[in-house]
Homo-oligomer: A and B are copies of this chain.
Amino acid sequence: FQSLSVAQRYLLLAGAGLACLAAGPLLERLLKFLINRRQSRGRCRRQFDCIFFSGGSLLPPCQAASQALAAAASSSNDPAVFCPDPSDCRLSHSSQHPYFQLIRQLASAVRSLDLCMYTLSSPDLSALLLALSQRKPRPVRVRVICDSEQLHSLGSAIAKLRSAGLPIRADSTSYFMHHKFCVIDRSLVLTGSLNWTGQGTLGNWENVVALDDVKVVEAFRREFERLWQEFSPASRSAR
């Protein structure tokens, strides 16, 4: 440094200053890139935003595959491998099938699944809830709110879930508890038009949208807790 002229020293200093300044935004961009990559990886676990069930034209999924997937309750397994003979089976094994998309979203639950569902009669989906609640080594805490009229209706799977030990609550009015949403791990909401029935999942035009927006999740989480309290046996006997 001593061997340099004054001008050269200033040039060197200015250059170093410029390099520091230039490095700031570059570092910022690098950080943003890393954060974005991490977030998009996190989102990959919630693979689909909008699930559309597409009326009678939809090829039904293979029941063996969907039941096995529900029992396994794992988001990483390919449904096709669960069918005894996929090459001979004429049903859908596509992992893009809306029914599989829905099952995969639900099976991603790790800690909790709070379900607020007008009517629940799908054997696959009720089997999935049971499998999650009994998952080893860490069971998922599953709670279910449903409509009072649907609690014991023909084909309802809810009484079965209750007798298996799942906590179930329902309204006590003639109005409908008509929600069709669930909150997974307090960080993801699924909502839309779909009742968890055979006709809903295999026949109708329906939508389920998966949302991880913090404000939306918080709103649905609070609504679930509010209804869970409102429909508690204690609240009722206090009336």
A interface residues with partner B (beta carbon < 8 Å) = 6-7, 10-11, 13-14, 17-18, 21-22, 24-25, 28, 49-50, 52, 55-56, 118, 171, 173-181, 191-194, 199-200, 203-207, 209, 211, 213, 215-216, 219-220, 223, 227
Counting every copy of the chain, the complex holds: 2
Chain B positions within 8 Å of A215 at CB level: 49-50
Q: Once the chains are docked, how many angstroms separate the CA of A101 from the CA of B127?
A: 38
A209 touches B191 (CB 8 A): yes
Report Cα–Cα, A14/B194, bound state, in Å.
65
Identify the 8 closest CB pairs spanning chains A and B, nearest first.
A14-B14, A50-B219, A175-B203, A178-B204, A176-B204, A10-B10, A6-B7, A56-B175
Q: Complex Cα distance A24/B21, Å? A: 10
Distance (whole angstroms) from the CB of A210 to the closest CB of chain B: 9
Contact A50 B209 (CB under 8 A): no
With both chains docked as a complex, state the minimum distance between the C-beta of A24 and any C-beta of chain B, in angstroms: 7
Q: Report the separation of the CA atoms of residues A223 and B13 in the bound assembly, to the nearest whole angstrom.
A: 61
Do A176 and B191 have beta carbons less than 8 Å apart?
no
| CB-based contact A49/B227 at 8 Å | no
Contacts of A206 in B (CB 8 A): 178-179
In the assembled complex, the Cα of A28 lies from the Cα of B25 at a distance in Å of 10
Contact A203 B181 (CB under 8 A): no
